[in-house]
Structure 1
Amino acid sequence: MNLWLILSLFTSILAVKDYLFKPCEQNGFCNRNKHYSKNVESSPYNINEINFNSEGNFISGIIHKSLPSRTVKLPFEISIIEGNFRFKMNENRQDINSIVNINRYDETPKWAFINTTNDQFIYKNKEIIYRDHKVAVQFNPVKFTFYYKGKPQLIINDKHFLNFEHQLLNDSDLLPFESTYNTNSDDFPDSKNDKLPLGRESIGLDFTLLEFNHLYGIPEHADSFSLKDTSNSEPYRLYNVDIFEYETNSKLPMYGSIPLLVTSKPEVSLGIFWVNSADTYIDINKGKDSSLVHFMSENGILEFIIIIEEKPQLVNYQYGKITGFSTLPNLFSLGYHQCRWNYNDEGDVLDIHSKFDQFEIPYDAIWLDIEYAENKKYFTWNKETFPNPEKMMSVLDRTGRNLIVIIDPHIKTGYQISDELLAKEITIKDSQNSTYFGHCWPGESVWIDTLNPNSQSYWNNNHLQFMKNNKNLHLWNDMNEPSVFNGPETSSPKDNLHFGNYEHRSIHNLYGLTYHESTYKSLINRNSNIRPFILTRSYFSGSQRTSAMWTGDNMSKWEYLKISIPMILTSNIVNFPFSGADVGGFFGNPSKELLTRWYQTGIFYPFFRAHAHIDSRRREPWVVGDPYTGYIRDAIRLRYKLLPVFYTSFYINSINGTPVIKPIYYENLDNGDIYDIDDEFFISDTGILVKPITDEAESKVNWIIPDDSIYYDFTNGVLSGVYKDREYGLGDIPMLLKGGSIIPMKLRYRRSSKLMKYDPYTIVIALDKDGKAYGELYVDDGESFNNDHAFIKFKFENKKFSYCIDGDYLFKLEKLIINGITVTNFKNNTIVDFDIDYHDEL
């Protein structure tokens, strides 16, 4: 690949160009489904056969699609999976002479789900009854009405948008309101070579949400937290792509996809999990009394799961039982990460490392982008710039620091790794079943097919040899959408083939998940007792089990700081809490004020990393100079003081899915004014309420208090009097603490989280109106899968402080801060007759 072509490809993707990405009207399946929804008058689908098995755990049958010349039979199955309604509909396709697997792709649950079980339910008089749930089944046409606690909450196919594009036997094998647009070809300029060997095979379905007007989820989009009405605009699109300098307030697809839409109202919360990994659009129409959601996917079986519970946290819990909860991460990974593209050599890395200590700023990991490898050949080191990486890592390890390097799925042709991938036939194939060659950062590349089970042992061996015994070396999986510079929409051609001869169009959105999960398994193979840390850019439902994510290539502008909060909130409410945005912005050069405010926001991202483009000026915390360096140092130190809060929050999330950063509407579903608030949030259930300043030259914060509880000023992590309006200078981090909360902190400065291990705890107590408060703390070794731990519950009642410990892991209490007053003269675990009222102003 010559230099001109490399520069041409690079330049072409440096900024978002809308014409590179398919709008709905030019994307065959979306165009056809929109045409269908506008023209259908009555649904042609009806249930003809139904059987309820004797064990009471599934219904099977046949849905008939009535055509003018014949009837298409579509097998379906209904079950209750982990307490939630599940529907699947497939198609028996006729064999054709094709390399491609003709069966509709039905293996998305294999990657997205954990081991699940079906529950028993009652089916009687066309009603499915399960606990407080009832589903009324209408046979002709097919319709499902969901009841919860006796009231209807959701209707499926009420608008007759159910559209299952059957295998065409001839050109006239269609209904009058079905379209043939791009059935066998693709006229979008960037994907005109797509062969579409199976023709049209899309699916679509409508969901009518009764009295629900606030919808959330379906990441990833750089848009508001509350989903917008798309009646007069593009639908939201889920299609994992490498989108440079993405725009804010946009429905364009991004790097990841989680097809879970959630909604809440007083006493009822609901989730729609669209179990499909193909290109997908979601249309939303918000009416006065209900909302209409229209899902459309390019192919695959029709499968969805409905979750209906009383509270949004219970939707998180139910979804987590299906797709798994986040594994409790390494403690170090919750600290501060320093990254740029690229640190030049070993001397550069160690200089940055030493300057953190010089300026007394804690950090836990330094990162290396693609330039560390020899000619961008992964699993190698550039011998000129990194001649002794083991020695470099040992220096970092002395103060508990870690090194994280990038390994992407594109493998440069012409060296041992790619040669062996070819020899073992574990690459992604083209439409003719030969290895696909495309272009990415190394030039001509091949891609490992991590859907192929034969790839895992090879991946294990490569990681074992490359990582050796470097216990503080961890991994970054980028470009795994997959990004293909010369591919359609900067990604893999949809007619490429994966293991089982399934087309890439069927699995596109889960490829990134298969890649980072393969890496996870390789790290477990390397050391089965240490929790791996992996950062992924591309993700799907289930990615939360094995990785962290970040919001990709943002820009050093105020609007990107502002949009990062709703983006990360969205990730949290769909059970992917370990998320963050590049602090400072990846592209460009932030002003000193913007950089400061971004750090003050970033300390609350569950994943806290600064990152910058190779052409950006250096911007490590000390570069900007005082007073800004001092403000940034204070912010990073506050993150470390709060590490016990974040670690405990991640532990709670790992067992029940509670978001690590939580929207304020979770706190009070009866307050209709707070459902759309996306610029402030709670840290889990700790009572810490945060509202970062994300506007230039702003010092005023207009707090939205979600309930009638008392709130205390907690600015910069210092508890003072009852909250009052105040100005926040550039050195101030706006925080409140809800009355009734007890939070654990570690206040001593250490250079890394590992060096904090034996430090004692300071317990901060904010009393409610009745003089009571409660809190929790989880403690373990911070890195292994060992079960040794302590879970501590704190209580303050009747002017007495006490705590109980489940487990015997080390816990040392240094002092208490009660409504801002420090107490150190306590014995054992009790304070008697602490004389302070909740309303005391200090």
Structure 2
Amino acid sequence: MVRARLSGGILCLLAILILMAAPGLSAKNYLFKTCEQSPFCRRNREYADRATAAPAAWAPPYSVDLATVSFETGVLDGTILKSVLDSRGEPTVAELPFSLVFLESGSARLVVDEKRRLGSPIDGFPSRLTQRRYNEASKWAVVGDMTPDISAIDISTDEERSGGIYRIKYGPNHSFEAVFSASPLQIKFLRDGEAHVILNERSLLNVDQWRPKPTVENLAEDPSLANEIDIKDMWEEDFGGKKDMKPKGPEAVAMDITFPGYEHVFGIPEHADKFSLRETRGGEGNHNEPYRLFNVDIFEYDVNSPMAMYGAIPFMQAHRKGSSVAVLWANAAETWIDIVKTRPNPEAFGTRKSTQTHWISESGIIDVYVMLGPNSASVYQQYGSLTGYAPLPPIYALGYHQCRWNYNSEDDVLEVDANFDKHEIPYDCIWLDIEYTENKKYFTWMKPSFPNAEKMMQALDKRKRKLVAIIDPHIKKETGYKVYEGLVKNDLTTKTENGKEYNGWCWPGESAWIDTFNPKAIEYWKDQFKPGKFCGYEHNLLIWNDMNEPSVFNGPEVTAPRDNIHYGNWEERDVHNVYGMTFINATVQALAARQPRQRPFVLTRAFFAGSQRLGAVWTGDNAAKWEYLDIAGPMLLSHSIAGFGFIGADVGGFFGNPTTELLVRWYQAGAFYPFFRGHAHIESKRREPWVFGEPYTSLIKSSIRLRYQLLPSLYTAFHRTSFDGMPIMRPMFLIAPDNEDILDIDDQFFWGETGLLVKPIVQQGALSTEIYLPDDEVYYDYFDSTIYQGLGYHHIEAPLEKIPVLARGGHILVRRDRYRRSATLMSHDPFTLVVHLDNAGNAAGVLYLDDGETTANIRGAYSHRFFMFSSQDNILRSRSMQPSSVNSRSFEKTIDTVRIEKVLLVGFDMDKLKSATSVESFQDKKSWTTEITVEVAANGKASVITVRDPKVLVTGDWSIQF
């Protein structure tokens, strides 16, 4: 993020960055590495080129020592041998122990390490370098049960085993099979007898073995060593005038992963690119660079690019007709991923291609998890069982958030707050960027502008609104600043390669970085959030963690030097992509300690696999341009299927000034982002929803109110993802998994449990669009019940006041139609049920309710209802989905007066209506009639029956007979 209001000493240092942020200028290619400039990526790409140029003649230096291979209690163990030359040019062998673990969850895990680095001394190196390869990425990413599946069985014959082939059956009903072949080394993962994932099919496994740094004398004795080793690249490198010392030498790991018969793969966020990932070896419409996973601060990022961004989730899903599989590459170092697609194999897969991927990481171990589905829902559940599910957020976090860099004072904050009420626009959270602090010192307030922060927060709290304050990991280096002095006193900062406190430049000027890998640093961070230390009014304080890649203005690639040292003596290069996750982890723990009964809300910019357990994320510093609105949808889908469903993009664009048309269209799209926030740069013009006047204020208001209307259904969807990982924003193939024509459609998506198909308008001047229906089910225009049906594209009008939203038949969505100031104030409002009947005349839906804020739901204090309309008897029913308990009954008593105030039955066959004037309701052994109004189907619109106040309560079982 490039800012304009900076402390004096940093201005010269950042002049070039500010120029890069100027309209029409970009030097991002100058700031960030290409694969060619990243030595380990270049070497492994060249290695792949040699292997694929003549695959029949390729002789990889890897083999399996069959004498070491054994299978016991769900684990296949052994040693891979790598033939290499030592420093004297003599042939030697590097030993790479491996374990193939079959987990009770149904996933399989392959770990490949290096024996030489497993704690044995490294001659001539400091003690900190005698340690093993970094193997703790899974410690942060994976929290699920890693118990081996003792029911996994070896079905290989003695002859196969003697030939180095092991066949292991595992998974549900032993429907999965792993075929391990020692020569050539390869692992096939089969489901129901068919291969779906293959590890090392192209023999691109490559592990940089430990070796001493070559000397001039070594090379003079055997010049052939120079062909293998580029001394400068392997032990040190220079990029952008900054030197990276690599005392441990080369540690890269790489492997190819093939998805046979899968032409489309998805995931590996974060990239501003298409949802279906492109090939990376050139060609029309493809990239020439691999996708890069390396958390960096990249302002006004390029769209349609494989460049690294703020976060990294090394999860990839492959989907084809009737099947989904996925892999997780659990490595926290810089990682590059090449993607190529093979020619179709008519005998095996018809016209479908296969996808071949090549994963390359700078250091660490090979630690890869394979999930065999068989469908997307199973994949997300398997992935969630490994990395954890996103917790149910507080209801207010799903409302609208108002932010800019910066609201300048308490008066400014309260004036914005009052204007939302004046214009009758709901919102839940107002945000403060860095200018609220005293000279960019976190946990302080700029007293002239914010003399009484507690009073301001109390005023917001009266209207049930929250304040979100930014807290970043860089801590101003200043004598007398207690937060910094405490870090130094307790030795809790990131260190340089020689063990000294690391200092770099960020918003405060010279700064230190808290090392949140250190458990003591987490405890120290928690202490800073105590009400007596940071704002005594605790009821409505939320936190925003920005710049946690970490962003270092004068660092290499605008981040920390790779030879910095973290707790445990790990180098930055080993842990880089997980640092941001450790920081938000510390903040979440701090808020939980501050408000132990409240569910915390934290927004993060940097993330890794498993970060979904901790909070929400946004796509960073976008711009007020149509192409950024366009790319937001594919980006959010990529995050969503990779487990991080609580995701949004800055509405309106962070940099620049949107036109009124762009702003309206962005609010329409943002109303369906899981995280819904308007945000703007300090030099952009004010653009709160009322600024542009009519008709734009009303158009923006209608989008925000639509979001609040649909909050019950959105909250229910978030509840589901908290236990099975089903995304909020759902790609087309989740609804129509057998339709392969939709796999590259990413400009529309299904939303939650509602059956709503959303197609944001993302082109300037567009007043209509084509929306693709992936099946033959009936669809209804959400706003006027116009019927659309038939596989393929359909034309739909979309004037500026309308976002195309169709409701798929068969779903019952739940909404609240009353206007309130905030989500919390809606807690006792009545509900409306909208029943969209499918082709057979049926529909179903779910509603989840709890108090919306506390952790009481974990103890059973919630209500979970199932609604169903059956064409067999034309009855709409409500039934409980949760076991009865003291806590559930206690919660339901708090909402026992909340009623269903309206039912809309869309698409009903009017010939089946017994009465044209009333329906009969049943609850608590009582019955009564309620009048209805009927809109008969006409002019392409479906019939709509409206039941007003049927006098049924949301708690308890009831029925309505049509």
TM-score scaled by length of structure 2: 0.85
Q: Which of 145, 148, 154 matches 1:123?
A: 154
The structural deviation recorded for 1:13 is 5.4
Pairwise CA distance, 1:685? 3.4
* Contact kept? 1:800, 1:832, Cα under 8 Å: no
Q: AA paired with 1:204?
A: A
Partner of 2:955: none
Deviations 1:246-274 (A, max 9, x none): 11111110000000011111222111110
CA RMSD, Structure 1 to Structure 2 (Å):
2.2
Distance 2:724 2:611 in 1: 16
Cα distance in structure 1, aligned partners of 2:729 and 2:928: 32
1:377 aligned onto 2:441: yes
Identity of aligned residues (%): 43
User: How do 1:150-165 residues align onto structure 2 when only pairs under 5 Å count?
Assistant: 150-165=193-208
The alpha-carbon deviation at position 689 of structure 1 amounts to: 0.6
Give the alignment partner of residue 865 of structure 2, picking from 772, 792, 796: 792
Correspondence 1:30-41 to 2 at 5 A: 30-40=41-51, 41=58
2:265 to 208, 215, 227: 215
In the TM superposition, residue 182 of structure 1 has moved relative to its aligned partner by 4.5
Letter in 1 for 2:126: S
> In the alignment, which residue of structure 2 is the partner of 1:268?
323
Contact 1:100 1:497 in 2 (8 A): no
Give the distance between the partners of 1:278 and 1:651, measured in 2 at CA. 33
Report the counterpart of residue 160 of structure 2 in structure 1. none
- Pick from 125, 131, 134 the counterpart of residue 105 of structure 1: 134
Separation in structure 2 between the aligned mates of residue 35 and residue 397 of structure 1, nearest angstrom: 60
1:434 CA drift (Å): 0.7
Q: Structure 2 CA distance, aligned partners of 1:6 and 1:755?
A: 48
1:492 paired to 2:560: yes
Equivalent residue number for residue 409 of structure 2 = 345
Deviation at 1:416, TM superposition (A): 1.1
After superposition, where does 1:305-316 map in structure 2 within 5 Å? Answer: 305-316=369-380
Q: CA shift at 1:401, angstroms?
A: 0.6
Alpha-carbon contact 1:224-1:249 (below 8 Å) kept: yes
1:143 alignment partner, SS class: strand
1:667 CA drift (Å): 1.1
The alpha-carbon deviation at position 828 of structure 1 amounts to 3.6
Residue 43 of structure 1 is matched in structure 2 by 60
Are 2:696 and 1:622 equivalent residues in the alignment? no
1:452 is aligned to 2:513: no
The aligned residue for residue 731 of structure 1 is: 801
**Higher relative contact order structure (alpha carbons within 8 Å, sequence separation ≥ 6):** 1
Please name the residue that 1:757 is paired with.
827
Partner of 1:817: 904
Q: 2:326·2:371 contact (CA, 8 Å) conserved in 1? A: yes
Residue 556 of structure 1 and its aligned partner are, at CA, apart by 0.2
Query: Which residue in 2 is equivalent to 1:741?
Result: 811
Please name the residue that 1:59 is paired with.
76
Task: Check whether the contact 1:774–1:796 (CA below 8 A) recurs between aligned residues.
Answer: yes
Give the direction of change, closer, same or farther, for the CA distance of 1:143–1:181 in structure 2 (3 Å limit).
Answer: farther
User: 2: distance between equivalents of 1:628 and 1:831?
Assistant: 45
Query: Is the 2:603–2:617 Cα contact (8 Å) retained in structure 1?
Result: yes
The offset of 1:827, in angstroms, is: 2.5
Contact 2:213/2:235 (CA < 8 Å) preserved in 1? no
Match of 1:804 among 879, 882, 887: 879
Question: What secondary structure is seen at the aligned counterpart in 1 of 2:677?
Answer: strand
Q: Tell me whether 1:250 sits opposite 2:250 in the alignment.
A: no
1:766 and 1:299, CA in 2 relative to 1: closer, same or farther beyond 3 A?
same
Q: Secondary structure at the match of 1:454?
A: helix
Equivalent in the alignment of 2:189:
146
Q: Is the 8 A contact 1:279 1:508 kept in 2?
A: yes
Does the C-alpha gap of structure 1 residues 170 and 638 become closer, same or farther in structure 2, counting only changes over 3 Å?
Answer: closer
For 1:467-493, what per-residue CA distance to the aligned partner results, in whole angstroms no more than 9, with x for missing partners? 434211100000000000000000000
Partner of 1:827: 921
Question: How many Å apart are 1:209 and its aligned residue?
Answer: 1.2
> Equivalent residue of 2:713, what SS?
helix
2:182 equivalent to 1:132: no
> 1:516 maps to which residue?
584
User: Alignment partner for residue 760 of structure 2, among 662, 681, 692?
Assistant: 692
- 280-289 vs 551-560, which moves further: 280-289
2:281 paired with 1:231 = yes
The C-alpha deviation readout for 1:377-424, integer Å capped at 9, x for no partner, is 000111110011111011111111100000000000111111110111
**Relative to structure 1, is the Cα distance of residues 679 and 349 closer, same or farther in structure 2, using a 3 angstrom cutoff?**
same
Task: Give the AA of the match of 2:92.
Answer: R
- How many aligned positions are there? 839
Asked whether 1:293 is paired with 2:347, we answer: no
Larger radius of gyration: 2
Q: Report the Cα distance in structure 2 between the residues aligned to 1:175 and 1:151, rounded to whole angstroms.
A: 43
Alignment of 1:184 onto 2:259: no
Q: CA deviation at 1:526?
A: 1.4
Quote how far apart the aligned CAs of 1:824 are: 8.6
Range 665-674 or range 746-755, more displaced: 665-674
Residues 774, 181 of structure 1: CA spacing in aligned structure 2 closer, same or farther, 3 A cutoff? Answer: farther
**AA of the residue aligned to 2:168:** I
- Inter-partner Cα distance in structure 2 for 1:196 and 1:298: 11
| Distance in 2, Cα, partners of 1:523 & 1:461 | 10
CA distance 1:167–1:206, shift in 2 (3 Å): same
User: Does the 8 A contact of 1:816 with 1:824 survive in 2?
Assistant: no
**1:795 Cα shift?**
0.4
Residue aligned with 1:466, SS:
coil
Q: Which residue of 1 aligns with 2:740?
A: 672
3-state SS, counterpart of residue 35 of structure 1: helix
1:463 pairs with 2:506? no
Deviation at 1:725, TM superposition (A): 3.8
**8 A Cα contact 1:680 1:691, kept in partner:** yes
Could you tell me how far 1:6 is from its partner in structure 2?
A: 5.0
Pair 1:23 & 2:50 matched: no
Question: Does the CA-based 8 Å contact 1:280-1:298 persist in structure 2?
Answer: yes
- Give the match's secondary structure for 1:26: coil
Whether the 8 Å CA contact 2:74–2:149 is kept in 1: the answer is yes
Q: Give the secondary-structure state (helix, strand or coil) at the position aligned to 1:67.
A: strand
Give the whole-Å Cα distance in 1 for the aligned partners of 2:820 and 2:920: 26
Between the aligned partners of 1:57 and 1:417, the Cα distance in structure 2 is: 49
CA distance in 2, matches of 1:6, 1:189: 17
SS across alignment from 1:376: coil
Q: Structure 2: where are the runs of 5+ without partners?
A: 1-7, 52-57, 86-90, 157-165, 283-287, 344-352, 883-887, 909-915, 944-962
Could you tell me which residue of structure 2 aligns to residue 281 of structure 1?
336
For residues 691 and 826 of structure 1, the distance between their equivalents in structure 2, rounded to whole angstroms, comes to 38
Q: What residue is the counterpart of 2:366 in the other structure?
A: 302
Paired with 1:794 and 1:753, the residues of 2 have a C-alpha distance of 23
Amino acid at match of 1:792: R
From 95, 106, 109, the equivalent of 2:121 is 95
Deviation digits for residues 554-600 of structure 1 (CA, Å, limit 9, x no counterpart): 00000000000000011000010000000000000000000000000
Partner of 2:742, secondary structure, is coil
Residue aligning to 2:951: none
Inter-CA distance 347–315: structure 2 relative to 1 (3 Å threshold): same
- What residue in structure 1 maps to residue 18 of structure 2? 11
Distance 1:823 1:778, change over 3 A: farther
Q: Secondary structure at the match of 1:2?
A: helix
Where does the alignment leave 5 or more consecutive residues of structure 1 unmatched? none
Shift of 1:831: 9.8
Using the TM superposition, name which of 99-108 and 750-759 deviates more. Answer: 99-108
User: Using the alignment, how far apart are the partners of 1:568 and 1:291 within structure 2?
Assistant: 23
What are the residue-to-residue correspondences of 1:356-395 with 2, within 5 Å?
A: 356-395=420-459
Q: CA deviation at 1:187?
A: 4.1
Match of 2:388 among 320, 324, 336: 324
- Once the two structures are overlaid, the 10-residue window that deviates more, 680-689 or 741-750, is 680-689
1:645 and 1:777 in contact (8 A); partners too: yes
Looking at structure 1, the residues matched to 68 and 694 of structure 2 have their Cα atoms a distance apart, in angstroms, of 73
